[in-house]
Amino acid sequence: MEVSFIFILLALVFVALTVLSMMGGFSVMMKGDEKSATKSNKFMQKRVLFQALALVCLALAYFTSK
């Protein structure tokens, strides 16, 4: 198994986590109570982290391919 393939699989996992955290943030935001703003903010911070990790994995897959 090539190293670039592993990075692509990791990127797909992080993309899925990005989508899930975005959906979680939106669902919490829809509730509209006082605590939902901080919970939604935490979900969106995780979304940004997962997006960054996905981009790093894709870059590593590109640079480790032959």
pLDDT per residue as tens digits for the range 39-53: 989 999 999 999 999
- Residue 35 has what pLDDT? 82
Residue 33, CA atoms < 13 Å, CB-side half-sphere: 4
* Lowest-confidence pick of 8-22, 23-37, 43-57: 23-37
Cα(29)–Cα(36) distance, rounded to whole angstroms?
6
Query: Quick one: pLDDT band at residue 17, thresholds 50, 70, 90?
Result: very high
Cα distance between the two ends of the chain: 13
Give the chain's mean pLDDT. 93
For the chain, give every domain's residue range: 3-64
- Residue 1 has what pLDDT? 77
- Residue 59 has what pLDDT? 96
